[in-house]
Structure 1
Amino acid sequence: MEHIRTRLVRFAEPNGQVHIGLHEGEVIRRLPGEWRIADLLGVPLDTMRDMVARASTEIPAESVRLLAPVDGLMEVWAAGVTYERSRDARVEETSEPTVYDRIYQAERPELFFKAPAWRVVTDGEPISVRDDSTINVPEPELGLVVNAHGEIAGYVVVNDVSSRSIEGDNPLYLPQAKIYAGSCSISAGIVPAWLTGIDDLAISMWVHRAGTVAFEGHTSTASFHRPAAGLVPYLTSHLRFPDGAVLSTGTGIVPGLDFDLKPGDTVEIRIANVGSLTNTVLRTREWLDSVEA
Structure 2
Amino acid sequence: MPAGPERSALVGRVMGPEGPCVVTVRGGRLIDITARVATVRDLAEYDDPAGFVRDCDGPDLGSLADIAACTPVESRRPETPRLLSPIDLQPIKAAGVTFVVSLMERVIEERCRGDATLADRVREQIAGHIGTDLAALQPGSVETARLKELLVAEGWWSQYLEVGLGPDAEIFTKSAPLASVGTATDIGVHPRSTWNNPEPEVVLLISSAGRAVGACLGNDVNLRDFEGRSALLLTAAKDNNASAAVGPFVRLFDDTFDLDTVRKLTVTLQVRGTDGFTLRAESSMAEISRDPDDLIRQLMGRHHQYPDGVVLFLGTMFAPVQDRAEPGLGFTHHIDDLVTISAPALGGLTNRVRTSDNCEPWQFGTADLFRNLARRGLL
Q: Normalising by structure 1, what TM-score? A: 0.90
Q: 1:275 to 1:117 in 2, by over 3 A?
A: farther
Q: Name 2:333's counterpart in structure 1.
A: 261
Q: Name 2:287's counterpart in structure 1.
A: 223
Q: How many residue pairs are counted as aligned between the two chains?
A: 287
Distance (whole Å) between structure 1 residues aligned to residue 11 and residue 157 of structure 2? 40
Checking the alignment, whether the CA contact within 8 Å between 1:127 and 1:183 is kept in structure 2 is yes
Checking the alignment, whether the CA contact within 8 Å between 2:37 and 2:43 is kept in structure 1 is no
Q: Name 1:241's counterpart in structure 2.
A: 306
Q: Name 1:80's counterpart in structure 2.
A: 96
Q: 1:245 to 1:188 in 2, by over 3 A?
A: same
Which of 91, 116, 137 aligns to 2:176? It is 116
Q: Name 1:105's counterpart in structure 2.
A: 165
Residue identity over aligned pairs, in percent, reads 26
Distance (whole Å) between structure 1 residues aligned to residue 342 and residue 275 of structure 2? 19
Distance (whole Å) between structure 2 residues aligned to residue 57 and residue 99 of structure 1? 51
User: Which range moved further: 84-93 or 3-12?
Assistant: 3-12
Q: Name 1:36's counterpart in structure 2.
A: 39
Distance (whole Å) between structure 2 residues aligned to residue 81 and residue 261 of structure 1? 21
User: Which range moved further: 153-162 or 17-26?
Assistant: 17-26
Q: Name 1:27's counterpart in structure 2.
A: 29
Q: Name 2:121's counterpart in structure 1.
A: none
Aligned 1:36-55 pairs, distance under 5 A: 36-41=39-44, 43-46=45-48, 48-55=49-56
Calculate the aligned-residue CA RMSD, in Å: 2.1
Report deviation, 1:17.
Answer: 3.6
Distance (whole Å) between structure 2 residues aligned to residue 25 and residue 100 of structure 1? 46
Structure 2 unaligned segments of length 5 or more: list them. 68-80, 112-155, 322-328, 364-379
Instruction: Look at both structures and tell me which one has the larger radius of gyration over its CA atoms.
Output: 2
**Larger proportion of strand:** 1
- Counterpart residue identity of residue 266, structure 1: L
Distance (whole Å) between structure 1 residues aligned to residue 344 and residue 288 of structure 2? 15
Distance (whole Å) between structure 2 residues aligned to residue 16 and residue 124 of structure 1? 21
Q: Name 1:66's counterpart in structure 2.
A: 83
Give the SS at the match of 1:218. Answer: strand
- Counterpart residue identity of residue 85, structure 2: A
Distance (whole Å) between structure 2 residues aligned to residue 45 and residue 249 of structure 1? 23
Distance (whole Å) between structure 1 residues aligned to residue 228 and residue 293 of structure 2? 28
Report deviation, 1:97.
Answer: 6.0
User: Which range moved further: 179-188 or 100-109?
Assistant: 100-109
